[in-house]
Amino acid sequence: MPDRAVLEFRNLSFRYPAADGWALEDLSFALRKGELIAVIGGNGAGKSSLCKCANGIIPHSEGGFLKGRVFTAGLDTRAHPVSVLAREAGLVLEDPDAQLFATTVLNEAAFGPENLGLEPAVIRVIAAELLSAVGLAGLDARPPSTLSGGQKQRLAVAAALAMKAGILVLDEPTSRLDGEGSEALMDLLGELKKCRGLAILMATHDLDLVRRHADRVLVLEKGKILALDTPERVLAAESRRAPSFPFRETAGEFIVAADQRGARDVLEMENATSVYPGGIAALRNVGFKAGAGEFIGIVGRNGSGKTTLLKCLTGLVEPFPGKVLIKGRDLADLSPPELAARVAYVQQNPDLQLFSDTVRKEAAFGPVNLGFGREETDRRVRRALGLVGLSGKAEEHPLGLDRTDRALTALASAIAMESAVLLLDEPTCGQDHAGAIRIMEIIRALRNEGRTVLVVGHDLRLLARYADRLLVMDGGAIVADGAAGDLLSRKDMLQDAGLRVPHDLDGRGADGNAPSTRKETICV
């Protein structure tokens, strides 16, 4: 491995305005050319702050108190603007929506090269090659807003790579990707390390990817470096420091019963089909039933129709020519207040539905708008905040909370509706182990109360542990429906659906050794 440092942190400390403590404290390490350092740690450990320091977002765009130095391709980030540093270090943010702005997928990928003054013919070649490399070939004319969460994440990576910087900084780049997409992205990055000498700093919670692809692992805890070593040594140390290490990979017990539905079907979808403008079929004749007190996990590759299915169940997308029945009533016949009282929905990015100035007001918004009085609203809010553990933060601003608490605030606002059906789109996306388990335990408690819960996710480990049943989607259709223990044994089907079975599910009622999804990648 080449020894030349291309990104260097020297005694770096950073504190946000009005914060009591340091987000980063006395960090010193260097990233070498052709090296991938994975940065892991719990929510709030400082991973995103570290990423933003690499190309000058901190301190130029996000202010605070900075000590120490960061050198990006030899440039002191204090002395150079982001516009200069961005040529040396590309950055993909945790939330792809925060950096996608062009009218089409092609324009997004071409924006960086255009600003470098390259010839139009060269720009078209670069954009086309990268879109193909990240699995977005054929989507050139699509508006980014119509892409799935995972497809948006791929587009953000392609746009960053198009700048051809020597350093790439990635904040949770696979959090919204299916297993197939995650492997394809890591294969692409591996090829770019070899042929370009690309240096990669990647914040992640995915230890399966860390184990297979990282050269070194940096563990952050409360803004300090807890460890910096090879993946083998860092992950081996996990068992010795389990009480403080934030990533214990406990698979837990699987739900193995073939069917734990209540006697009464609460939710039924019949022959649902949805076609987006341009003739793109998002759903194809989808049908299933869900009973009271049932927890259903929905999995599948990016763009397989998972989010569209949830939107059909909320009335945001029409399931023409099919229909959705909720407790026997056609969703199309329900007024908005009637529907809201029966179905609660938390989006893939909960920040998009947080708008009140306190957590309490956020949770109260639904009950108030359904016409409940103060006493009943207060009861619902107290119960919802107590269930998610936010009673002590009721008067705080939702967007000032950490990632886990923002997700829990959105969940509390749905819980306060006390609806029969709860729909959650990627509720554990970007969460550390503790945050993901906390959210899943809350969902399990709601299921035990008799709620019908549908959860879209990519984490087979978590869904196998908690869900009564899994729906596997591919190409807008349900290709499998059954208990997790049964479906995990069908590794060919899971691979065909773009899913990856984590290594630690082997031997637990299923053959979890999914075949390799590695593919040839191009050097662009």
pLDDT tens per residue, range 353-367: 999 999 999 999 999
Query: In degrees rounded to 5, what are phi and psi of residue 57?
Result: -55, -45
pLDDT at 323 over 90: yes
pLDDT at 253 over 50: no
Asked if 96 contacts 155 with a C-beta cutoff of 8 angstroms, the reply is: yes
pLDDT at 395 over 80: yes
Work out whether the CA dihedral 127, 128, 132, 136 comes out positive or negative: positive
Q: What one-letter code names the amino acid at 484?
A: A
Query: What's the pLDDT band for 155 if we cut at 50, 70, 90?
Result: very high
pLDDT at 512 over 60: no
Pick the residue with more confidence: 238 or 419?
419
Pick the residue with more confidence: 504 or 42?
42
Gap between the Cα atoms of 266 and 289, Å rounded: 8
Q: How many residues does the chain have?
A: 524
Query: What's the pLDDT band for 230 if we cut at 50, 70, 90?
Result: very high
The rounded Cα 247 to chain-centroid distance in angstroms is: 17
- Residue 517, pLDDT score: 36
Give this prediction's pTM. Answer: 0.78
Q: Which CATH number is 5-237 given?
A: 3.40.50.300
Average pLDDT for 278-298: 92
Q: Which part of the chain has CATH 3.40.50.300?
A: 5-237, 249-327+420-514
Q: At what angle do helices 120-133 and 105-115 cross, to 10 degrees?
A: 130
pLDDT tens per residue, range 108-147: 999 999 999 999 999 999 999 999 999 999 999 999 998 8
Beta-carbon contacts of 424 under 8 Å, excluding residues fewer than 6 positions away, are 345, 346, 411, 414, 443, 453, 454, 455, 456
CATH superfamily of 249-327+420-514: P-loop containing nucleotide triphosphate hydrolases (3.40.50.300)
Instruction: Work out the percent of the chain whose per-residue pLDDT is above 90.
Output: 72
Is 307 strand, coil or helix? Answer: helix
pLDDT at 506 over 60: no
**Nearest one of 30, 47, 346, 484 to 215, comparing CA atoms:** 30
Query: What's the pLDDT band for 254 if we cut at 50, 70, 90?
Result: very low
Instruction: Work out the percent of the chain whose per-residue pLDDT is above 70.
Output: 90
pLDDT at 509 over 60: no
**Nearest one of 91, 124, 92 to 109, comparing CA atoms:** 124
Work out whether the CA dihedral 237, 243, 247, 248 comes out positive or negative: positive
